[in-house]
Amino acid sequence: MKSKFRQIALLGKYHLPQASGTRPSARPILESIAQFLHTQGCEVFLEKDTAANSGLTGYPVLDVKGIGQQCDLALVVGGDGTMLGFGRQLAEYKVPLIGINQGRLGFITDIPLTHYDTTLLPMLRGEYDEDRRVMMHAKVWRDGHCVFDALALNDVVVNRGSTSGMVELRVEVDGNFVAIQRADGLIIATPTGSTAYSLSAGGPLLHPSLPAWVMAPIAPHTLSNRPIVLADTGEVAIDLVAGRDASANFDMQSLASLLVGDRITVRRSEHHARFLHPRGWSYFDTLRKKLHWNEGVA
């Protein structure tokens, strides 16, 4: 049976430690996967930076826009951070992604590198479960002008400076005043991001199917200031009232420096990230494995 996907892009994490020998170099891994895809009758394309940094040759090279326009599947080799980056970039093109994890099992890169071929084979033939993840569209406003615009799949985080004290933030939801937050920062997380920084800050886990966000303060001055779950249908606005060297981070992969008086607005993006998992994939199985639930239970 031939592959359902005809044109597949191979995207990878290529900055890997090789001196210790604990992790294989990127090129043999990518080359092995590319050859496997070729044997399944797929036309393989390499993402531009992946090709340049891995040194892999012999396959046509595309930038992200080209992948979005020409490919019907993206195969991402790396970890959750790599998937987050490419997931955001390819969302507008509606290209689905499959994640192969080079290290520990990830929350969204759930195919281990060992024996990847036996897992991929049925997926390429159409035997998979699709997982659509909501994203956030955030903007930083200064003097009425948008000075930064970004998408986030995990979270939008407003942080204090590394050497300064707490920040003071005025928070609104759908134009309704919520509170003045005095804390080290504030996290607005999607269900995908509820297992990331928000979890470390005491936020709840949200199932990916929920149309909701978590708003979680980071080390709040007032202990009664707790995480809250919000509907993702409106807008969250955060004004920086006080605090030096503050910044806004988007999936911890892009950053905007903030000035007092800046406003950060967060709305649901019109785009979704599309992840494909092996047939029978379960979110709860992933939680058990990653969070080590039931350890010691016979």
In the chain (298 residues long), the average pLDDT of successive 10-residue segments reads 88 59 70 94 95 91 97 95 94 96 80 91 95 97 97 96 87 97 96 96 96 97 92 97 94 95 98 96 91 74
| Rounded Cα–Cα distance for residues 229 and 173 (Å) | 12
Class of domain 7-126: alpha beta
Which residue type sits at 257?
S
Catalytic residue among 49, 63, 80, 117: 80
Stated length of the chain: 298
**What integer pLDDT is reported at residue 17 of this predicted model?**
46
pTM of the complete model: 0.91
What pLDDT is recorded for position 15?
Answer: 53
- Which residues, including other chains, have CB under 8 Å from residue 275's CB and lie 6 or more apart? 83, 87, 96, 97, 98, 99, 108, 130, 131, 132, 133
Q: What is the pLDDT of residue 19?
A: 42
C-beta of residue 157 within 8 angstroms of C-beta of residue 186: yes
239 carries an active-site annotation: no
3 state SS of 41: coil
Angle at CA of residue 158, ends 87 and 110, nearest 5°: 30
Query: Tokens in use for 242?
Result: 């006080």
**CATH number listed for the domain at residues 135-269:** 2.60.200.30
Two structure tokens written together for 92: 């507008």
| 83, 106 Cβ separation under 8 angstroms | yes
For the chain, give every domain's residue range.
7-126, 135-269
